[in-house]
Chain A
Amino acid sequence: MAVREVLKYPNDILKQDAADVTELTEEVKQIIQDLKDTMLDAGHSTGIAAPQIGQLKRIITIDASLNKKCKENHGFMVMINPEIIEHSGTVTSREGCMSVPDFTGNVTRAERIVVSYFDENMQQNVLETSGFEAILIQHETDHLNGMLFIDRVISKRTDLFRRKKY
């Protein structure tokens, strides 16, 4: 088990593109384990992306079931090279992120997505999901493209908030 430090903005790694994973090396397996350990150690986190622990690889881990209000979800998942291939609808929620600890922001995202990805065995899968789990995947996938939620806040005075507590 290895809990890694979660990088915080303005660390420059968070603003860089992550590289595709081409094979399941020992390094990749270790990153997956570290992501899982770090996510669970944080206590309040439902997902994490490899750049958040300093690894510029296209890997995320999520567990929408850690949000008690999320009734329909697929539990813990590893997604390698995730790509959102279809989306529909919009939903606005207020997001917080471990890498931007002082703020929360209103972000509008797709309500329903179809995502293609490779699992921890490098088997290709396609998942259709909606609601909180879809928001979670979009948020974490953004990290792979150097995007933070504050990049998606519309420049309106009511959209960015100093965090109430953590």
Chain B
Amino acid sequence: MDRQHYYALSFVNTDSKGIVADTTKVLFDNGFNLADSSSTLLQGVFSMIFIVTNDKDYKEQEIKDMFKNVRSHMEVFKFDKKPEKNDNGSHYSISVYGADKAGIVHAITDEIAKNNLNIIDLQTKITGGSPKVYIMILEVVSDNENNENIWQEALKKTAKEINTQINIKKIEFYEL
């Protein structure tokens, strides 16, 4: 049977050298293919998310047991079918920044959800100085290019209400 089974694996640990090599060795030794991954250092925590495939139908606990000697906190999620991605539409890059306070991410993402936009990437950072500045960068997809003025004005109004700056830029896609 050549059906592929899809699993999401997440790992978090305080940063140290060799984590990626140790983790991917277990994946390689057990016949997993890396379909997609994202890993980054969040504060002092190295965080890895892998979407992996295997022709074997493992239980989640069986996969966890494979990593019992890898020094990370991990979680496994097994998909019952291939996870489909739909990011068709117009893409926009949005950056929001301002003096740090609670509620920036919620206020902006709530307005994005109300306007039926889909977030496909979101990163936040906070500067170390004083006063602290909060920075959020998102990529959103709209399936209706004709209403961009409406949602952009709504987002700008929300950003102003929470005293943050916002920039919205359409991502130009060129087929060359």
Binding site for B on A (CB under 8 A): 44-47, 67, 93-97, 104, 132, 135-136, 139-140, 149, 157-158, 162, 164-165
The answer to the question of B176 belonging to the interface, with a C-beta cut-off of 8 Å to chain A, is yes
Given contacts A157-B38, A158-B139, A164-B87, contact A45 B121 (CB under 8 A): no
Asked if B38 and A45 make an inter-chain contact with CB atoms under 8 angstroms apart, the answer reads no
Given contacts A157-B40, A165-B88, contact A95 B121 (CB under 8 A): no
Asked if B36 and A93 make an inter-chain contact with CB atoms under 8 angstroms apart, the answer reads no
Asked if A136 and B174 make an inter-chain contact with CB atoms under 8 angstroms apart, the answer reads yes
Asked if A94 and B172 make an inter-chain contact with CB atoms under 8 angstroms apart, the answer reads yes
CB distance from A131 to the nearest CB of B (A): 10
Asked if A136 and B173 make an inter-chain contact with CB atoms under 8 angstroms apart, the answer reads no
The answer to the question of B168 belonging to the interface, with a C-beta cut-off of 8 Å to chain A, is no
A57 to B137, CA, bound (A): 42
The answer to the question of B175 belonging to the interface, with a C-beta cut-off of 8 Å to chain A, is yes
CB distance from A39 to the nearest CB of B (A): 11
Asked if B174 and A95 make an inter-chain contact with CB atoms under 8 angstroms apart, the answer reads yes
A160 to B55, CA, bound (A): 27
- As a 0/1 sequence over residues 94 to 133 of chain B, the CB contacts with chain A under 8 angstroms (1 = contact) are 0000000000000000000000000001010000000000
A165 to B87, CA, bound (A): 9
Asked if A96 and B173 make an inter-chain contact with CB atoms under 8 angstroms apart, the answer reads yes
A93 to B91, CA, bound (A): 12
Asked if B176 and A45 make an inter-chain contact with CB atoms under 8 angstroms apart, the answer reads yes
The answer to the question of B171 belonging to the interface, with a C-beta cut-off of 8 Å to chain A, is yes
A157 to B121, CA, bound (A): 10
Chain B residues whose CB sits within 8 angstroms of the CB of A162 once the complex forms: 36, 85
Chain B residues whose CB sits within 8 angstroms of the CB of A93 once the complex forms: 171-174
A45 to B174, CA, bound (A): 9
Asked if A140 and B176 make an inter-chain contact with CB atoms under 8 angstroms apart, the answer reads yes
Chain B residues whose CB sits within 8 angstroms of the CB of A157 once the complex forms: 38, 40
A135 to B176, CA, bound (A): 9
